[in-house]
Amino acid sequence: MDGNTINISRITTEDGSVVKIKGLLGATCLYVYDPLALHHIFVKDQQFYEESDDFVQTNRMFFGQGLGTSVGERHRLQRKLIAPSFSIAHLREMANVFYEVSHRLHSTFRDLGKNDDQQVDVVVWMSRLALELIGQSGLGCSFDTLTTDMQPHPFGVAAKMLLPLSSSIPPLRRLLMPWIGKFERWPRLGRFLVDLIPSKSVLDLTFVVDTMNRTAAEILASKKAAISAGDEAVKDEVGQGKDLISALLKANMFAPEKERLKENELLGQVASLTFAAVDTTSSALSRILYLLAAHKDVQEKLRQEIKDAREGSGGQDPDHDTLVALPYLDAVCRETLRLYSPVTKVDRVATADTILPLSTPVKGIDGTDIQSLSVPKGTNIIVSILGSNRNPELWGPDAMEWKPERWLKPLPEALINARVPGIYSHLMTFISGGRSCIGFKFSQLEMKSVLATILEDIEFSLGEKEIYWHMGNVTTPTTDINSVTPTMPMKIRYIGKGSDSMQT
């Protein structure tokens, strides 16, 4: 456990569901996971709790005018156009794409796993897999063959470098980024100012952003050209025009003129979509495989369910509806996303003076019970996803334990009555309201497709080195407590037909 994990865990378990803490440069922040307060922040009064201007401006420098960096009416319009691409009907078509990519990784793992207790860096492979999954299904292009001799694609390298580099910028220099971001109408001036910042991390970051923007522009141009050339040209594209970006471009063409996304907004979706999908998906899959390696009984029970499902599907990949309905696979995914959410917090700022009601009173400095809080305009709010997902008052005394079986029986009455506003299973993992994760069902289908493919005959065991989990913007594993470089060596073994385990 690293330092920030310890601090967050202490606040979550000891200090209550609303805590006043000190932020950057001594600024006062509210650390919140009270369910009623969350309902007001994300649902009832969401118009008064937005991402901070600093957050928006900084991220626009990285991703452009995508869904994650737009606000107000432009955000609502973008979400309206993008939402149909994440419908159940569209996801049913995506399942085969996810399976095809997963089978490529499975083939590589099978070959590697034929050597006794072959060690592989699982998080590296999960990152490559996640990029190829979003490449095929989201962008309609291929970045990786998922073979051992494949050199990383520059776009993939850039996407993986973005978070570590942005985290490594010294705090005082980081404060300059949102200020420079205000010059977005004059990009050349903004770039000139960025180049003046005396920081190697900033220079490296500009290279990463340039690489992502260049690739995004190439992808967008290719999709537009295929659509303009007609249906036959679209069918020749990776994904046959069913990818999310192609669907968005088509929807945008037929939208009323005032609701159409501008060129820079379309470009921003490529970077935003990739960033949102790659790190969180690779983090969640890495955590699941780590937990399954640590709990071999769970791994074996899950493997048997997967085998039974494949047998019931005539030896083929289970279809979408069968896959998402597998109870134990679903329980493993839900429990991991509860206890170990890839993103542990989100930030908001009060845009007006508001009142924040609480479901459970907190003690004031004078010892009196406080039923609601006056929140002045400009107050920074840290919403604790971990705090809500691990709240023992809602989830019970075993809230800090990883127990997939909890999802196979009725959930605690206290949890049901609390009405946590999360869009997924009483969890805040994908938050809620107008800025909730639009692709939460997409990400679940990705994870389940991967696990149902590789776990059938690949056994995962813990490696020799202890794994630490670094709580940055997205939680990542590492073998060095002082490093933010993701790495997670694990042992894999092929246990399918023709393996030693089948012959003994």
Residue numbers belonging to the annotated binding site: 437
The three-state DSSP-derived secondary structure of 95-158 is: HHHHHHHHHHHHHHHHHHCCCCCEEEEHHHHHHHHHHHHHHHHHHCCCCCCCCCCCCCCHHHHH
The answer to whether the CB of 348 falls within 8 A of the CB of 381 is: yes
Helix then strand then coil, in percent of the chain rounded to 5, is: 60, 15, 30
Q: Which helix (H) or strand (E) holds 461?
A: strand 458-462
The answer to whether the CB of 8 falls within 8 A of the CB of 25 is: no
Handedness of CA 403, 347, 131, 489 (dihedral sign): negative
CA distance 146 to 106: 9
User: What single DSSP character describes residue 504?
Assistant: -
CA distance 366 to 183: 47
User: What single DSSP character describes residue 318?
Assistant: P
CA-angle at 45, arms to 39 and 48, nearest 5°: 130
The DSSP code sequence of 48-80 is: GEE--HHHHHHHHHHH-S-TTT--HHHHHHHHH
Give CA 23 to chain center in angstroms: 24
Contacts (Cβ under 8 Å, ≥6 apart) of 230: none
Six-digit token string for 457: 């005959």
The three-state DSSP-derived secondary structure of 347-372 is: EEEECCCEEEEEEEEEECCCCCEEEE
Query: Which residue do the tokens 């029986």 mark?
Result: 409
CA distance 377 to 278: 35
Six-digit token string for 96: 């085969």
Beta pairing class for 380-384 and 28-32: parallel
CA distance 421 to 36: 8
The answer to whether the CB of 51 falls within 8 A of the CB of 348 is: yes
Query: What residue numbers does the annotated binding site for heme cover?
Result: 437
Beta pairing class for 18-22 and 28-32: antiparallel
